[in-house]
Amino acid sequence: MLTTSFYCVAFNSPTNQNATTIADDIAQIFPSATRIGPVDTEIPVTPVYQLNELLGYVFESDDFVNFIGFSGQTVNLLIGIDTDGVFTGLKILKHNEPIFLHGLGEAPMLDFIKQYLGHSVKERFIVNARNKDSLDATYVDGVTKATISVLVISDTITAAAIQVAREKLSGFVAPSNTSVNLDYYQPLDFTELVQKNFITHWQLSRNEAMTQAEKASPSLTRLINQISDGDDNFINLYFAFVHIPIIGKNLLGEQEYQRLIENLKPGEHALMVFGRGKYSFVSDDFIPQTVPSRLSGLQATLPVDIRDIDFYSYYEPTFAQAIPDFNKIKVFRIKSQSGFELNKELSLSLTLNYNQSFLSKKQYSFTINNTLPDELFIHKEPEVNPEENRPLWLKIWIGRSTEIMILSGYLIFLLWVFIKQDTITKNANTTHKLRFASLVFVLFFIGFYSQGQLSVINIYTLLLSIWQGFNINVFLLDPIIFILWVFVFISLFLWGRGLFCGWLCPFGALQEFASLVASKLKIKQIKIKPQHHKAAQKIKYFILFLLVGSSFYSLTLAGRLAEIEPFKTSITLNFVRYWPFVLYVILLLALSLKIHKVYCRYLCPLGAGLAIVGRYPLFKWLTRRQECGSPCQLCRNKKCGIDAINKDGSIDYRECIQCLECVVTIKDPTVCVVDKYAKKRAVVVEVKPSTDFSNKLV
pLDDT in tens, 469-523: 666 766 776 789 899 999 999 999 999 898 999 999 999 999 999 999 998 999 9
Residue pair 624/649 in contact (Cβ under 8 Å)? The answer is: yes
Q: What kind and span of H or E run contains 298? A: strand 295-299
Q: pLDDT higher for 138 or 576?
A: 138
Task: Give the Cα separation of 620 and 280 in Å (integer).
Answer: 69
Q: How confident is the model at residue 358 (pLDDT cuts 50, 70, 90)?
A: low
β-strands 295-299, 302-304 pairing: antiparallel
Give the span between the Cα atoms of 57 and 48, in whole angstroms: 6
- Residue 361 near residue 134 (C-beta atoms within 8 A): no
- 93-133 pLDDT tens trace: 988 776 687 556 788 899 999 999 999 988 888 887 666 76
pLDDT computed for residue 10 by the predictor: 36
Residue 228: pLDDT band (50, 70, 90) is confident
Average pLDDT over residues 243-261: 94
Query: How high is the pLDDT of residue 390?
Result: 62
Residue 4 predicted with pLDDT over 90: no
For 465, 545, 557, the CA distances from 469, given in Å and listed in that order, are: 5, 22, 21
Q: How wide is the angle at C-alpha 454 spanned by C-alphas 453 and 455, nearest 5°?
A: 115
Is beta strand 137-140 parallel, antiparallel or unpaired with respect to 124-127? parallel
pTM score: 0.51
Q: Is the pLDDT of residue 558 over 90?
A: no
Rounded to the nearest 10 degrees, the angle between the axes of helix 206-213 and helix 218-228 is: 170
Is the model's pLDDT at 691 over the cut of 80? no
pLDDT at 11 over 50: no
Read off the pLDDT of residues 391-427 as tens digits, 9 standing for 90 and up: 657 777 887 899 999 999 999 999 999 999 889 988 9
- Per-residue confidence (pLDDT) for residue 171, from 0 to 100: 63
Q: State the CB neighbour count (10 A cutoff) for residue 382.
A: 7
**Residue 604 half-sphere exposure, CB side, CA atoms within 13 Å?**
26
The pLDDT confidence band at residue 7, using thresholds 50, 70 and 90, is: very low
- CA triple 408-411-415, angle to 5 deg: 140
Q: What value does the mean pLDDT of the chain take?
A: 83
Q: 190-199, 326-335, 349-358, 656-665: which range is least confident on average?
A: 349-358
Residue 649: what pLDDT?
86
H helices present in 274-349, as ranges:
none
Task: With a cut of 60, say whether residue 428 has pLDDT above it.
Answer: yes
DSSP assigned state of 241: E
Asked if 548 contacts 611 with a C-beta cutoff of 8 angstroms, the reply is no
